[in-house]
Amino acid sequence: MTETTRYERQTALKEIGDQGQQQLLQAKVLVIGAGGLGCPVLQYLTAAGVGEIGIADDDVVALNNLHRQILYTEKHVGKLKAEAATDVLQRMNSTVKINQHIVRLDNKNILPIIRLYDVVVDATDNIPARYIVNDACYLLRKPLIYGSILKFEGQLAVFNYNTSITYRDLFPQQPKENEIADCNEAGVIGVLPGIIGSLQAAEAIKIITGIGQVAAGKLITYNMLHNSLYEFNISANLLAASFLPADEKALENADYGEVCDVFSVREIDIASFDEIRNLPGTIVVDVREEYELNETPALESIQMPFSVFDENMALPNSETIVVVCKSGHRSKAAAALLSRKYKNVISLQGGLNNWLTLNKMDHA
């Protein structure tokens, strides 16, 4: 009775009905990226009653995410997005199964994860990942719902659904890193990912239930400033076939470049950390929040909580900067940002939790 009541406004639609709701309850959708686009996708699919939802994201919530990533609040800053999103979504609808894939998807690990799902939503924000996701969905014949945003404009398309059209028919070859801007550089208005992400969720519901006209083989563009909405047909591109992987082995061996620039930093293990942390030329930057500082023995470090982190903050002259946090996720993001200004910046692999565990074992 409870489930009937929950979805009664949805099942009242003749196009959905009880059969459509059952299809949603049995569906499995993977959302890659739990940021600006991923948040509304996850919310609406959870509310609609999609039976199983995967969240693939290894990033953490930052303060500058909150204007557009509406699943999160200030209390989530510094926490893994997949974990924070799961907590919020389960409170919204406890009957939906949420799977967390706290990994950076690349061409080496993506295929086993995508195999678990019926539909894939691309809510990523970097170009290499977009091509990897497209190529994996092409090989596994999984419908792919693409969305992208920049400044005041967004795009939407559905690939590999009742058509051979893929993302490479639109953009055959991966552009070089310096040939395209992203939201970190160009900015984005906060409501735009909500609009495009909602459209992605709508496409997922149409694909699962078989209703309406799916945006397959089409590119829909929306400009918020001009209130313009255009739809373009995507034709098969003869160049696309030459760039698509021939098989799974070809995908795994292909060179897509760095998947997520924010994490392209060097890491050190615990032994190396213990060797260099007290050297005269080394400074340690701790990006944990104040409430976390009593969880490990005190370290001589500079405190820069991730919730208010500023890569432009002046640091003392040093040969090496080691960034640490609780588990190693926030420190990687902070180290990448500091690397724009300082030369030798590294992150402690596994974080201070790992460091404390190994030190306890050594003294047992």
- Give SS3 for 173: coil
Cβ–Cβ under 8 Å, residues 33 and 122: yes
Please report which residue ranges of the chain form alpha helices under DSSP H.
Answer: 2-6, 8-11, 17-26, 38-48, 81-92, 110-114, 127-140, 167-170, 183-186, 191-209, 240-243, 248-253, 270-276, 329-338, 351-362
Contact 333, 59 (CB under 8 A): yes
Query: Which amino acid does the sequence have at 315?
Result: L
The conformational region for residue 350 under phi > 0 = left, psi -120 to 50 = alpha, else beta, is left
Q: How far apart are CA 186 and CA 177, in angstroms?
A: 14
CA distance 125 to 162: 26
39 catalytically annotated: no
Coil, strand or helix at 184:
helix
- Cα–Cα distance list, 80 to 97, 226, 352 (Å): 18, 36, 16
- Of 39, 137, 260, 325, the active-site residue reads 325
137 is catalytic: no
Please identify which of the residues 39, 137, 183, 260 carries the catalytic annotation.
183
For the chain, the first-to-last Cα distance in angstroms comes to 56
Would you please indicate which residues are annotated as catalytic (active-site) residues? 183, 325
